[in-house]
């Protein structure tokens, strides 16, 4: 026989509380004493209560949905970060609605409107397209990851330390010239710290270096074309020198490695390569790639912790919103593999 659904009326009869009090337990538990919350919690166990999620959403307006906007799924860092964010469901209990922005501001604004229409409770934004000032204007809790974050809370890697670590490893590998490839970006973008850390280390140790700041493309074809140009440039300018190449991420480092393998049948002795992220591709590459590891699982958990704190605060009778954004910085971990000596 089908078990009877336990209703608010059943819980009220069991506990002696009113149905209004039972509703407050689900929708505004902070309004009840801890003793009364415990009595109702015990009753739910005794009655084997199964929550009606749809009914609760309709009654409270709280969906337990979080919106996520990532730039793309081509970069292995973003796909791995998304995987880690989704895995936080077991800890925080929030579900996710995910969009890929592809650097189009008008498209991302439509995505945000769509998310707000679903009554999301918060957003995690990895895409850098829309300013943090605009994101803050939507009046839902927002946490950014590796993007400009003046007006929103964020969790980022210590990119400056990552640049120092990459340059230090290449310097100790006996390279004649150190080369860092990255995009042109303002200092408000966390990844700019990689450039500064790399450059400061080369200057401090009087190591010859070059910065190649250019857009590497958003697709494999665009990226490969840029990498082939990069190889031609480096071999013309530094033909016999041992080149230590610090790529902006593991995806691009892998494309560089593959291009060199296709050209020479091996990784030439004149190249040392290090990436950034410790995304799966760095371990799975034909030659495992040295990398500055972002602690992706830690970043994802910290982002959800920050966001859940803000979302929980908004549900209180007298919420006390954060006066200033909170910024957490996670140290990187240097991982030495086979593309460096």
Tens-digit pLDDT profile for residues 104-139: 899 999 999 999 988 899 999 999 999 999 999 998
Widest pairwise Cα distance in the chain: 85
Distance CA(9)–CA(3), nearest Å, equals 16
Residue 50, SS3? coil
Whether pLDDT at 59 is above 90 = no
Distance CA(118)–CA(115), nearest Å, equals 5
C-alpha 303: how far from its chain's center?
8
Report the pLDDT averaged over residues 40-67.
Answer: 72
| Per-residue model confidence (pLDDT) at position 319 | 79
**% of residues, the chain, pLDDT over 90:** 77
Residue 66, SS3? strand
Whether pLDDT at 53 is above 70 = no
End-to-end Cα, the chain, rounded Å: 69
Residue 123, SS3? strand
* pLDDT tens per residue across span 62-85: 668 999 999 998 899 999 999 999
Instruction: State the pTM of this model.
Output: 0.82
At 58, is the pLDDT very low, low, confident or very high (cuts 50, 70, 90)? very low
| Per-residue model confidence (pLDDT) at position 52 | 58
| Mean of all residue pLDDT scores within the chain | 92
Report the pLDDT averaged over residues 261-271.
Answer: 97
Contacts 24+ apart (CB under 8 A), 20-27: 23/59, 26/51, 26/56, 26/59, 26/60, 27/56, 27/59, 27/60, 27/62
Query: Which structure tokens are listed for 301?
Result: 């958990």
| Per-residue model confidence (pLDDT) at position 322 | 79
The structure tokens 């809370």 sit at: 153
Report the pLDDT averaged over residues 286-290.
Answer: 97
Residue 233, SS3? helix
* pLDDT tens per residue across span 157-205: 999 999 999 999 999 999 999 999 999 999 999 999 999 999 999 999 9
Give the residue from 298, 321, 296, 315 showing the smallest Cα distance to 152: 321
| Per-residue model confidence (pLDDT) at position 63 | 67
* pLDDT tens per residue across span 239-261: 999 999 999 999 999 999 999 99
Helices then strands, each counted (H, E), the chain? 14, 12
Which alpha helices (H) appear in 159-249, and where do they start and end?
A: 159-172, 192-204, 220-237
Higher local confidence (pLDDT), 320 or 34: 34
At 23, is the pLDDT very low, low, confident or very high (cuts 50, 70, 90)? confident
Whether pLDDT at 55 is above 60 = no
Q: At what angle do helices 76-86 and 250-264 cross, to 10 degrees?
A: 140
- Cross-strand bridge partners of residue 124: 68, 143
Strand order in the sheet with 209-213: 209-213, 177-182, 243-246, 271-277, 290-293, 333-335
Whether pLDDT at 61 is above 60 = no
At 48, is the pLDDT very low, low, confident or very high (cuts 50, 70, 90)? confident
Distance CA(152)–CA(273), nearest Å, equals 35
| Per-residue model confidence (pLDDT) at position 54 | 47
**Domains in the chain, start-ordered, CATH in brackets?**
8-60 (1.10.260), 65-156+297-330 (3.40.50.2300), 159-295 (3.40.50.2300)
Calculate ∠ Cα 301-302-306, nearest 5°. Answer: 120
């Amino acid at each position: 026989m089908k078990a009877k659904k336990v209703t608010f009326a059943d819980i009220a009869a069991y506990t002696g509380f009113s149905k209004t009090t039972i509703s407050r337990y689900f929708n505004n538990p902070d309004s009840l004493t801890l003793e009364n919350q415990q009595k109702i919690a015990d009753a739910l166990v005794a009655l084997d209560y199964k929550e009606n999620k749809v009914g609760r959403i309709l009654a409270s307006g709280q969906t337990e949905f979080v919106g996520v906007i990532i730039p793309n799924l081509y970069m292995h860092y973003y796909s791995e970060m998304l995987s880690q964010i989704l895995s936080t469901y077991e800890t925080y209990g929030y579900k996710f609605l995910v969009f890929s922005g592809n650097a189009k501001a008008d498209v991302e604004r439509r995505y945000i409107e769509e998310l707000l229409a679903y009554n999301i409770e918060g957003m995690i934004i990895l895409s850098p397209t829309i300013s943090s000032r605009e994101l803050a204007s939507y009046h839902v809790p927002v946490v950014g990851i590796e993007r400009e974050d003046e007006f929103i809370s964020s969790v980022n890697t210590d990119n400056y330390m990552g640049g120092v670590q990459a340059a230090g490893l290449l310097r100790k590998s006996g390279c004649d010239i150190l080369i860092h490839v990255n995009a042109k970006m303002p200092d408000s973008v966390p990844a700019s710290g990689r450039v500064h850390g790399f450059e400061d280390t080369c200057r401090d140790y009087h190591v010859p270096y070059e910065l190649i700041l250019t857009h590497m493309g958003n697709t494999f074809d665009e990226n490969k074309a840029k990498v082939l140009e990069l190889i031609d440039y480096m071999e013309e300018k530094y033909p016999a020198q041992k080149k230590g190449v610090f790529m902006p991420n593991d995806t691009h480092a892998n494309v560089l490695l593959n291009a060199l393998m296709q050209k020479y049948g091996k990784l030439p002795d004149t190249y040392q390569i290090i990436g950034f992220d410790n995304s799966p591709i760095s371990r799975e590459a034909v030659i495992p790639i040295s990398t500055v590891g972002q602690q992706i699982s830690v970043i994802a958990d910290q982002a959800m912790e920050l966001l859940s704190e803000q979302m929980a605060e908004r549900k209180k009778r007298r919420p006390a919103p954060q006066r200033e954004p909170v910024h957490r910085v996670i140290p990187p971990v240097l991982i030495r593999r086979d593309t460096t000596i």
